Amino acid sequence: MTELLADGVEGLMTLFDPHRVADPYPRYAWLRAARPVWHPVGRVYVLSRHGDCAAVLRDPDSAAPRRDTSGCAGSARAPSEEELVATCILLLVAGHETTTSLMGSAGSAALMLVGAANRDPALCADPDQLDVTRPPTRHVSFGQGIHFCLGAPLARLETQIVLRQLLQRPDDPWLAGEPAWKENTVLRGLRRLPVQFTGLGLVRRP
C-alpha cells in the first residue's frame, strides 16, 4: 500500500489500476485507517469512511453547482493544469452525473469509494463477511438524501426476482469460469459471471 502515499495525479490513478479491481478491499481498509479523507491533488478529495460519504450525500449544498456553475468563473484562483487533469479523471472514471453532483461551491470534487464505505467496521460487524441474515444497514450503494438513486426500487425488484428464480431451480449452480470485473473502482461490479447448472444430471461438476 506504500504507493498510495504518493500524492498528485499519479497517486490518484493507483485507485483505478485494472489489475487490482478484482480485490480492492485491502486498499480500502488501508485508506479508511490511514487516509480516510485523502487530498491527493488540488480540490479533489477521496472519501473512504461511511460516515464521511453519508454526510456528503445528505448535504443539500453539495448539489448546488449542478444547477449553477457560473460562480466558478469568478473564483479567486483558476484551477491548475494538474487539477484539471485530476478532475477529468474523475469525470471519466466515476461518471459525469456522480462527479458533478458532488462539486462544492468552490469547485471541489469528492470522490466517494462506495465499496470502502459499505465495508466500514463502523457500519456493521464483520463487514467483509457475506451474511444474508444481517439486519439492513445504512449503506451508500444507492446514495442517500438528495443524491438517492431514482432507479433503486427497480434494481431491488430485479435482484429479488433473479435470486428467487435461482433458488427455486431444482439443480445446483456452479462457477463455470473466472469472473470478470468492470474496470471501475467507484461503481465496482461484475462484467461477466459464467455459471452452469447440473440440470438433470447431464452436466457434472468438474
**Alpha-carbon span 167 to 190, nearest angstrom:** 20
- Cβ neighbors of 82 (< 8 A, separation 6 or more) are 8, 9, 41, 42
Placement of cell 479523507 in the chain: 37
Q: Could you tell me which residue, 142 or 92, shows the higher pLDDT?
A: 142
The rounded mean pLDDT for the chain is 75
As given in the structure block, the three cell numbers for residue 136 are 439492513
Compute how many other C-beta atoms are within 10 angstroms of the C-beta atom of residue 20.
14
Compute how many other C-beta atoms are within 10 angstroms of the C-beta atom of residue 193.
12
**Alpha-carbon span 62 to 104, nearest angstrom:** 5
Predicted TM-score (pTM) above 0.75? no
**Smallest Cα–Cα separation from 89: which of 97, 99, 102?**
99
Q: What is the model's pLDDT at position 129? A: 92
CB 36 within 8 A of CB 76: no
Placement of cell 461511511 in the chain: 50
Distances (CA, A) of 163 to 31, 141, 157, 173: 33, 19, 10, 12
DSSP state of 183: S
- Cβ neighbors of 24 (< 8 A, separation 6 or more) are 115, 185, 188
pLDDT in tens, 117-164: 999 999 999 999 989 889 989 999 888 887 788 888 998 999 899 888
Q: Could you tell me what percent of the chain has a pLDDT over 70?
A: 69
